[in-house]
């Protein structure tokens, strides 16, 4: 089987989608198949190409036991809508053009840019007579509308129609949860067209470590200070800005709200914390991946937030990291969101209404005052993520799924 994965993000970028793309390709090759990845030039989250890279029309890398083809696209440090759309469209077009010049894959798997990337991968698969699997980990344009990036109207309606058309014409659509599957089925897709395959985390990489570890010491965090950690992308869809008001309410407690990551909401959080003179908020950039387990372990409590209504169209993978590190989670999300379902099933945290300052503060204080409860919830989360979201189990399911698609591609009369 030849698997072609198109993902706009890839290591050395550390975002989960890129890391999982690499791990999927590695696993595919290890099990006797061929794999290729089409991606962009590393520039996330700041919109500046990483040192050591230079944008070209294309750049082939054979650093892994598989090939990585980096293709040209626009780059901008601006988070405005037009530069973002330019990046989405340019990467999609470059993926299509460069993909056509490569060998015929059996399966094209898209984790590409929203809407345009899915459409480009569908066209590529049809022209190469391959099966097309559309990976949907965030539902667009619904996600953009809820984040305030895109207004409801004719453009949003057009983008939704295009994305729904891509979903209906894909050989299969892959969603990471039952909740996202329900959203996709609202686009009048046959139920058997949408497969649920979980995202995953390497539970051998992120393991429970002591809270008083070298990374925490390097940051100068006191031994008695309790850390509430928000790790990962601090995006608009998170609505994490209201955590500043929570921190303001808890100024009299020895609690540090530690944000580790980047994203569109980060600057607003930093500005408000500075204006209010809050000493119990600290913001750090993404840390080296080899320190990830220490970063997670430095926390006493982990935090995830989502805008109201957004839990049905987006899934924060940071929750799996919290669970793998055996740290309890306080989630400001809706009761019927996938995040809430995971936390309740794993008995590993507290769920409070989104953007409810009082409820989030009370939930954090409950765990601050109960170390026994923190330890029990942390252990429960570790057990749950090992059983349901381990890397080996998830990759085996993905590979078996792609093998079935490849066999269909080889059948007489196939595209």
User: CATH for 214-388, among 3.40.30.10, 3.40.50.920, 2.40.30.10, 3.40.50.2000?
Assistant: 3.40.50.2000
User: By mean pLDDT, which of 116-125, 178-187, 283-292, 398-407 is the weakest?
Assistant: 178-187
- Return phi, psi of residue 11, to 5°: -50, 140
pLDDT of residue 79: 75
| Domain range 2-200+390-410, CATH architecture | 3-Layer(aba) Sandwich (3.40)
Confidence of residue 398 (pLDDT cuts 50, 70, 90): very high
Residue 9 to residue 40: CA distance in whole angstroms:
6
Confidence of residue 341 (pLDDT cuts 50, 70, 90): very high
Q: Name the more confident of 148 and 257.
A: 257
pLDDT of residue 329: 97
2-200+390-410 and 214-388 agree in CATH topology: yes
pLDDT of residue 369: 96
Residue 166 to residue 193: CA distance in whole angstroms:
12
- Return phi, psi of residue 10, to 5°: -165, 150
Q: Give the Å distances, CA to CA, from 175 to 134, 308, 395.
A: 9, 21, 14
* Domain assignments of the chain as residue spans, ordered by start: 2-200+390-410, 214-388
Q: Average pLDDT, stretch 63-83?
A: 87
pTM of structure: 0.86
pLDDT of residue 111: 95
pLDDT of residue 224 exceeding 70, the answer is yes
pLDDT of residue 411: 59
Residue range 323-335, pLDDT digits in tens:
999 999 999 999 9
- DSSP code for 317: T
HEC assignment per residue over the chain:
CEEEEEECCCCCCCCHHHHHHHHHHHHHHHCCCEEEEEECCCCCCCCCCCCCCCCCCEEEECCCCCEEEEECCCCCCCCCHHHHHHHHHHHHHHHHHHHHCCCCCCEEEEECCCCHHHHHHHHHHHHCCCEEEEECCECCCHHHHHCCCCCCCHHHHHHHHHHHHHHHHCCEEEECCHHHHHHHHCCCCCHHHEEECCCCECCCCCCCCCCCCHHHHHCCCCCCCEEEEEECCCCHHHCHHHHHHHHHHCCCCCEEEEEECCCCCHHHHHHHHHHCCCCCEEEECCCCHHHHHHHHHCCCEEEEECCCCHHHCECCCHHHHHHHCCCCEEEECCCCCHHHHHHHHHCCEEEECCCCHHHHHHHHHHHHCCHHHHHHHHHHHHHHHHHHCEHHHHHHHHHHHHHHHHHHHHCCCCC
Residue range 132-152, pLDDT digits in tens:
999 998 888 877 777 677 788
Residue range 13-44, pLDDT digits in tens:
988 899 999 999 999 999 999 999 999 999 98
pLDDT of residue 414: 53
Q: How many residues does the chain have?
A: 415
* Host H or E run for residue 154: helix 154-169
pLDDT of residue 64 exceeding 80, the answer is no
* Average per-residue pLDDT for the chain: 91
pLDDT of residue 415: 53
């Amino acid at each position: 089987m030849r698997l072609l994965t198109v993902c706009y993000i890839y290591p050395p970028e550390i975002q989960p989608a890129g890391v999982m793309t690499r791990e999927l390709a590695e696993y595919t090759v290890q099990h006797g198949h061929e794999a290729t990845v089409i991606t962009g030039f590393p520039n996330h989250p700041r919109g500046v190409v990483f040192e050591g890279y230079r944008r070209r029309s294309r750049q082939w890398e054979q650093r892994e036991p598989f090939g990585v083809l980096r293709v040209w696209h626009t780059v901008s440090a601006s988070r405005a809508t037009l530069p973002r759309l330019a990046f989405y469209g340019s990467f999609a077009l470059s993926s299509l053009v460069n993909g056509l010049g490569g060998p015929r894959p059996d399966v094209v798997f898209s984790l590409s840019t929203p809407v345009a990337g899915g459409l480009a991968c569908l066209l590529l698969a049809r022209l190469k007579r391959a099966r097309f699997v559309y990976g949907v980990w965030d539902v667009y344009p619904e996600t953009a509308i809820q984040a305030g990036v895109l207004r409801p109207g004719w453009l949003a309606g057009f983008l939704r129609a295009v994305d729904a058309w891509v979903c209906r014409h894909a050989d299969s659509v892959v969603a990471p949860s039952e909740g996202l599957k329900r959203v996709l089925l609202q686009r009048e897709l046959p139920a058997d067209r949408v497969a649920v395959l979980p995202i995953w985390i390497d539970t051998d990489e992120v393991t429970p470590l002591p809270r008083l570890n070298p990374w925490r010491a390097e940051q100068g965090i006191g031994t008695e200070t309790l850390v509430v950690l928000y790790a990962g992308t601090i995006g608009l869809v998170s609505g994490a800005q209201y955590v500043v008001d929570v921190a303001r309410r808890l100024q009299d407690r020895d609690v540090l709200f530690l944000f580790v990551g980047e994203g569109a909401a980060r600057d607003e959080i930093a500005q408000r914390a500075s204006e209010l003179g809050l000493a119990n908020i600290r913001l750090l950039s993404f840390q080296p991946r080899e320190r990830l387990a220490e970063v997670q372990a430095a926390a006493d409590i982990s935090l995830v937030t989502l805008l109201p209504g957004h839990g049905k169209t987006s899934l924060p993978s940071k929750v799996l990291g919290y669970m793998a590190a055996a740290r309890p989670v306080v989630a400001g999300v809706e009761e019927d969101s996938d995040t809430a379902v995971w936390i309740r099933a794993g008995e590993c945290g507290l769920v409070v209404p989104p953007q409810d300052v009082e409820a989030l503060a009370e939930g954090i204080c409950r765990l601050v005052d109960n170390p026994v409860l923190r330890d029990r919830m942390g252990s429960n989360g570790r057990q749950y993520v090992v059983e349901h979201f381990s890397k080996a189990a998830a990759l085996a399911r993905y590979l078996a799924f792609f093998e079935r698609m490849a066999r269909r591609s080889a059948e007489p009369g196939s595209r």
